[in-house]
Amino acid sequence: MRPVVLVLGPDRSALSGVTTHVNLLLGSRLAGDYELVHFQVGSEGREENALRRWMRLLASPFTLFTAILMRHVAVVHINTSLNPRAYWRDLAYLFVTRLAGARVLYQIHGGELPQQFFEGSRLLTLWLGFTLRLPDLVVVLAQCELEAYRRFVPTQNVVVIPNGIDCRPYDELSVVHSFPDRPLRLLYIGRIAREKGLYEALQGVDARLIVAGDGAEMPRLRRYAHALGLGARVIFAKPVFGRDKVTLLGGSDLFLLPSHAEGLPYALLESMAAGVPVLATPVGAIPDVLADGTHGLLVPTRDAKAIANALATLSADRERLSWMSRACRRRIRAAFSIDRVAAELGEAYAHLAARGAAHVTERK
């Protein structure tokens, strides 16, 4: 009988990196070794008023507790982030899981580093340290996060397991062949939010840019593009998935990701798997994946002038874009496949499930 693993995450049709992560896990080879069960948390993908939201928030931990007991769950995989909304919401799931006797894999998808999260409040910082010691295993995405968490909770078992993707949909695409006599074809795919650095990107672009995504910031970003006189060069499109995403990447020269903060964005892995070099900022796990000058260029955060200079550099050297494209594809296939993620998480699940079974035996 396969051990049951409850995987917490948003609605599977929601537009988020955690949704992509959950869907990849549920479709990976992990599903052959474990009974993976999705447990929906968060407001993404739901249509609800304030009253229904509060009722759901109150009932959801009890629903989780019941699911753990009824399904004899061995491991609960909590996908969270160190931002206030996700931390406080998922804290209830952490306590409930420990109360129900299941093992906890607590995966943190970016956000603040723990030393900064409650900066200025010693009491809340101590509380954070206490709660981070509750999981059986803490998983982070970046080397800088691994070092920070190990310093913050030195007695906790913290490991780094970077995200991975299915590279097969991108195998048919050729490397970038960009022509000097035409402007660069720039692309951004993802959530439309101020912290993604899109305002700075608009200040720095002098080429065609497609922005494909959705978010509360979209109307303001459109107005800003028109105010800058970029109405004819910036195309705003709806979120893209599947074949549409592959096609859009296949027609691009460079992917823009000038975020202010990140974990390990799937958009980075997907663009590089498609052979599209990336102009990004050195935040989160991005420097673990993208070598500056080899797979694209890194620029400081919130620096429109640096973006403009980097775009001018690449626009003047199209041959460089072509060999960057080849390097991107090699990098993702070698180190960031979903098979590698499934293998590493599978080992973690097996260890936690065995510990849980041994604990039950001891109690008997």
Was domain 168-335 assigned CATH 3.40.50.2000?
yes
Render pLDDT for 214-251 as a digit per residue (tens, 0 to 9): 988 999 999 999 999 998 899 999 999 889 999 999 99
pLDDT of residue 232: 86
Q: What is the pLDDT of residue 173?
A: 83
Q: Which CATH class is domain 4-164+337-363?
A: alpha beta
pLDDT profile of the chain (364 residues), mean per 10: 93 85 94 94 71 80 95 96 93 96 96 93 96 98 95 97 93 76 90 94 91 93 94 91 92 95 92 96 94 97 95 91 94 94 96 71 45
The pLDDT score that the predictor gives to residue 361 is: 42
The pLDDT value recorded for residue 359 is 52
Spell out the SS3 assignment of the chain.
Answer: CCCEEEEEECCCCCCCHHHHHHHHHHCCCHHHHCEEEEEECCCCCCCCCHHHHHHHHHHHHHHHHHHHHHHCEEEEEEEEEECHHHHHHHHHHHHHHHHHCCEEEEEEEEECCHHHHCCCCHHHHHHHHHHHCCCCEEEECCHHHHHHHHHHCCCCCEEECCCCECCHHHCCCCCCCCCCCCCCEEEEEEECCHHHCHHHHHHHCCCEEEEEEECCCHHHHHHHHHHCCCCCCEEEECCCCHHHHHHHHHCCCEEEECCCCCCCCHHHHHHHHCCCCEEECCCCCHHHHCCECCCEEECCCCCHHHHHHHHHHHHCCHHHHHHHHHHHHHHHHHHCEHHHHHHHHHHHHHHHHHHHHHHHHHHC
For CATH 3.40.50.2000, the residue range(s) in the chain are 4-164+337-363, 168-335
Global confidence as pTM? 0.86
**Residue 298 pLDDT:** 97
